[in-house]
Amino acid sequence: MRSLILLTASRLLFPLLLLFSVFLLLRGHNAPGGGFVGGLVAAAALALHALAHGISATRSVVAVAPLNFVALGLGCALGSGLVGWFWQQPYLTGLWTSLPLLGKVGTPLLFDLGVYLLVIGMVAHVLFLLWEE
């Protein structure tokens, strides 16, 4: 049985939760937040969507296998640590640069992005496995 209230709330909250998760990701270096918390909020948005619309509709929204998010996240986190090696620095040394439109960005943002993708991929994978059972 589908609830009209849940469907309407899901349509309104899903994009807002995803936007808030990106805000938490970008805010995380200097204040509370980061990749883990942002990933959990994005995964909660996926769970809400699955609850309202069904798992097949949520799979079509994601469009990429969740384990691919996990692999990409691990690659980003590993790559952020390797950047320091090119400048003869220890592994996971934070390096920053300024970009014209984004301002000051660095390897901690890349690491947080990796954690963000990893959390989304793992929670979505578990969600899809549990929902199919």
Three-state DSSP class for 1?
coil
All residue ranges of the chain with pLDDT < 50 are none
pLDDT digits (tens, 9 = 90+) for 32-41: 778 999 999 9
**For position 30, what pLDDT does the model report?**
64
**For position 121, what pLDDT does the model report?**
96
Domain boundaries, the chain: 4-132
**For position 92, what pLDDT does the model report?**
82
**For position 29, what pLDDT does the model report?**
66
Count of CB atoms situated within 10 Å of the CB of 63: 6
pTM equals 0.89
Inter-CA distances, 68 with 1, 47, 83, 122, Å: 32, 18, 22, 10
Residues contacting 110, CB < 8 A, separation 6+? 76, 77, 79, 80, 83
